[in-house]
Every structure is written in structure tokens, then in C-alpha cells.
A and B are shown apart, each in its own frame.
Chain A
């Protein structure tokens, strides 16, 4: 009898624990209609620019829901979700499946290319001989102007890298920081680089984050300040931009434009001023989209692109002569006597 009691107790305890396991471990759902609804709802509740871009996401649901069937191929289903998420017009949005990826890239077709890497190498950089960390650098205008190219914010830059360049080019009249064709990367590189061009603690941007399921559910504004670094550059600075300046590179532009000695030259950036967030949907695919808004100090949202202080496009006639119109404009601004 005693043994039976022990067995019954163990059975009851085991059953209880097994039930708890089912609370955590659930079978995945691959029915396309279920996945579609989860995908649509995830975007609906997380995306941060519906109002700004005047997107009718309910209308998107009504348009695409009838096209979803369990008999459609995975490829066709993936293409449908891709078309849906492209309607956000956001380079931070996309869908990833087990067989294909899709990202919105329309942000850089809103203007001319405004960058020619080969022209730069042949006529200015002479093969990019000098590289400090992730920063290519050369001197221009007989040593009066320093030129630094930073092509990927995912590549780590250090204070030591920048301090070396500031020391090397300390006698120049100005520095050109070229971030054209920089699609972004890590946020911490923004501060590492920008802090060497700030002389005082400076308010550089504000941010609001989604904090609820409604399209207008946001936190209050959080202010971001830039602290000056120990070793700073005191001369003029020009930041060069084009439509392929996106995400962290756009944020860098947003930060630098608040500094008094900085002029942004070139074309409007590609935007991307919402931090990308995402989720795994029930069939094992993933979606990502913006979940916040980064604002200028004046409260403006430049998600569709930050306009430059000096708008200039590369001229075809200049390019035929091996001239980068945007670099030349920046050099003129630096060399111009006050």
C-alpha cells in the first residue's frame, strides 16, 4: 500500500510538471493564414512611422488577406509578405525566410548616386594608401584640407584612431568626413567619431520609442547629449552625404549638424531614423521594422532623409574630368576666408 502511495504521488507530481512543460513548449504553426495575421499584427503593433508616412495598414490587410491560401507556394507567400512590408518605404524593414531575404532598398533611389568610388580612388585617394583602422585618409589642397572616408559604421573605430588623425592633420584648415554610401552599423561608433569634433556638451538629438500597440503609443522624448572628447579638432568640418547614407550614418549626420563648426554637404541622406526591431513569426521566418523615431533637437523627424546644409549633386561634366563636385564644394567651403 505504501508503495502505491509513493507511485501515485510521483505520478501526480510528474503530470503537474509535464503540464507546465506544455506552457513553454508549443508546436510551431505553419498555416499561412495564421502566419499572415501574426505578421500583419506584429508590424501593426511595432512599426513607428505609420502616421508620419500616412500608411493605411488596415487597408494593406484588406488588400492582401484574400490572396493568402494554404495551397500557395512558400515562394509566393514570401513574395506577398515582401510586397506588404515594402509599403512601409523603410530601409529598416524586411522579411527573412529559410530560403530568401527581402529588404526595402528604395531609400537610395530617391536621388542621384552622387558617389563614384573609382573616380575618388583615381583622382583623389590615389589607391587609398593610408588607412587608420576603418578610416581611409588623405590630404588635399596642398595639405590645407584633410579628407577621411568612413564607409561602414559596422567597422569599429577607436579614440586612438581618430586622435592619430587629428594629430596628423592638426595644421589643416578643415577636415572632410565623407560618409557617402555608408549604410550604417553600430551606434557606439557614432559617438566615438563625433565626440572629437565637439567643443562643449551639446544636445544633438531626441528620441521616442514605441511603448504600446497603438500607432501613436510612444514614450516621452529622451534627449541625447554629445560629450566632447579629450583630444578634439578645432577647425572647420564638412560631412559629405548622399542618398545611401542610411541608419547609423544618418544618425551621425543628425548629430554632426548640431555642432557649430560642421557643415553637411551633398545630397539628402537616405533616412533610416528608427532603430530596427523585429520578431520571429510562427513559421520560422523573421520580420523587422523600425520601432522608434529619432528626432532633431527641434523635434523634426527626418526618417525620409536629412537635408544637407549645402545641397550639391555631382555634375556629369565634372565627373568626366575626374572631379568629385561634392568634395570640391566642401574644399571651397573650408578654404573660403571668413
Chain B
């Protein structure tokens, strides 16, 4: 696994700087802080403690930092959300809640790989570091199996496509207009994933001050045993003072495949963000 990690890092180190080119005048050059809230249509199914699918609405918050300079785009983002899910189609009228808590930290460094200055169309591509925690608290009569989770640290790839309706004030020297449509897609390539052990309880549970997480219960994988597809679509309006407001949709599908008890979570999140230019 160490060889695999080393090879992947070498490959990324060789490939991504190759995209670097001399920037034309039309490439964006900005710093933005974004703060926002979200409403999420969420679903989860965790075979460790249920055979049922759960769905519901959760709420979240987002903090982001963008820095576009020269032909590079740096992104730092943190999304948190939580809320209650309920059994899908409630078999036999079954009423229960699963509290779903999600935390996702992402850091991307992308390079401009395509730039059509006539159409104000840019494509960035680059590596991403992603930490993701998903926790589910099931309130059913299932003993000590109520809490399940996955925590994953991943190195992945992300592509970002931006289409500006205009250039100025975002672009230097372009024609004035204030809109941007953007979309991004990311997926982990190499991941270390922490999941509960077979029965959901850590071996050290009966210790004084025991941790609930079992750090020994983890696995590393390439693409096959950890899926985290994140697809984002956004529409941004920039004010004359360069600050902005953004409306976006994030499709976030996570699946873990440990030796036993796979778990799947789907968050479909609608964000409203305020962008501060500095």
C-alpha cells in the first residue's frame, strides 16, 4: 500500500504541473471567502444495524475560500450538516429516527488546463485532499449498535468548469457582466477509511475513558472500496463591488465497502452562499 501511495503521489506531482501555462490576460484573478447555508435531501443505508433505507431533510453550513491567481485555482472548503432521517416508506407504520451528521473538509489545488477566452470558458484540473466524516445515530431498539460512522481521508482528483457570462470585474480587461455558471466533479483515488468493526463496538469499549472510534478498524483502497462522488453545479451573481451571491447544488454520494457491513449515504444539497471579495 505504501508503494501504491508513493506511486500515486509521484504521478500527481509529474502530471499536474504540466498543465501550467503562461496565463493570458483573461484568466480570473481573485480571492473570495464564501459563507452559506444549505438544505439537504439526504438518504442513508447502513447494513451494520439496519436493512432499511432512511430518508429525510437535513440542514448545513458551508465555509469556503477560493484563490485564483495566474493559471492556478486554490480551494479550501468545509461543509457540515445534520438532521433526522426516517424509514423510507415506513414498513408496517414503523416510526424511528436516524440522526445523520456529516462533516467534509476539502482542499484543492487546480491548474488551468483549458481556456477559451472568446467564450469565457475555463477548465481547471488538479488534486484534492478530502476528509469526510459521516455519523449516523439510530434510535431503534438495537442495543449498542446505534452509532455507526465512516471517516475517510482521501487523495483524489477534481475538475472544475467555469463559464463566465462576462469578464469584468472578475476578469482583467474584459467586457462587463456579472454572472458565472460553474460545475465541478471530484472523486477519491486513494483513501484510508475508518469504519466500525464487525459488531459496531470497539475492542476497547470496556476500558475506562474508552474511545468510541476503533482506530484499528480501517482499510486503505484505490477506487474500488470507497466511493465519494461529488458533483457541484453553481450559479453566481457578482455585484459591482466584486462581492457575490451564489446558488448551488451539490450531489454527494458516499459508499464504503469494508469486509462486512457496507454503508451508503446520499446528500443532495442546495446552497445559498454569500461571497466576499478581498
Contacts and interface: CB of A to CB of B under 8 A. Distances in A.
- On whether the two chains bind one another, the answer is yes
Interface of A: 13, 17, 20-21, 23-30, 38, 46, 74, 92, 94, 96-98, 101, 187, 191, 195, 205, 207, 209-213, 217, 219, 222, 224-227, 251, 275-289, 291-292, 294
Interface of B: 43-45, 48-53, 55, 87-96, 138, 140-145, 197-201, 203-208, 229, 231, 251, 253, 255, 260, 264-266
B92 A280 contact: no
Contact of B49 (A26, A226, A279, A284): A279
A212 B50 CA distance: 17
A283 B264 CA distance: 20
Interface SS of chain A: helix, strand, loop or mixed?
mixed
B207 to A, nearest CB: 6
Contacts of A286: 140-142
A306 B6 CA distance: 54
Contacts of A209: 197-199, 201, 203
A213 B47 CA distance: 14
A23 B208 contact: no
A154 B95 CA distance: 25
A277 B142 contact: yes
A285 B34 CA distance: 44
Contact of B143 (A25, A227, A275): A275
A73 B88 CA distance: 23
Nearest to B138: A280
Interface SS of chain B: helix, strand, loop or mixed?
loop
6 contacts: A28-B87, A96-B141, A209-B197, A209-B199, A278-B145, A279-B48
Given A17-B251, A288-B142, A213 B91 contact: no
B91 A282 contact: yes
Contact of B253 (A20, A279, A281, A288): A20
A-B pairs with the 3 shortest C-beta distances? A284-B94, A278-B142, A276-B143
Contacts of B43: 21, 24-25
Contact of B199 (A20, A21, A74, A292): A292
A276 B144 contact: yes
Nearest to A34: B51
Contacts of B94: 98, 283-285
B144 A275 contact: yes
Nearest to B264: A24
A226 B140 contact: no
B45 A26 contact: yes
A284 B90 contact: yes
Given A21-B43, A222-B206, A226-B208, A213 B89 contact: no
A80 to B, nearest CB: 16
Contacts of B145: 277-279, 288, 291
**A24, A219, A226, A282: which has the most chain B beta carbons within 10 Å?**
A24
Nearest to A205: B206
Given A209-B198, A277-B199, A279-B49, 19 more contacts: A20-B229, A20-B266, A23-B255, A23-B264, A38-B51, A98-B92, A207-B206, A212-B198, A224-B206, A227-B208, A275-B143, A277-B143, A278-B49, A279-B48, A284-B93, A284-B94, A287-B142, A288-B145, A291-B144
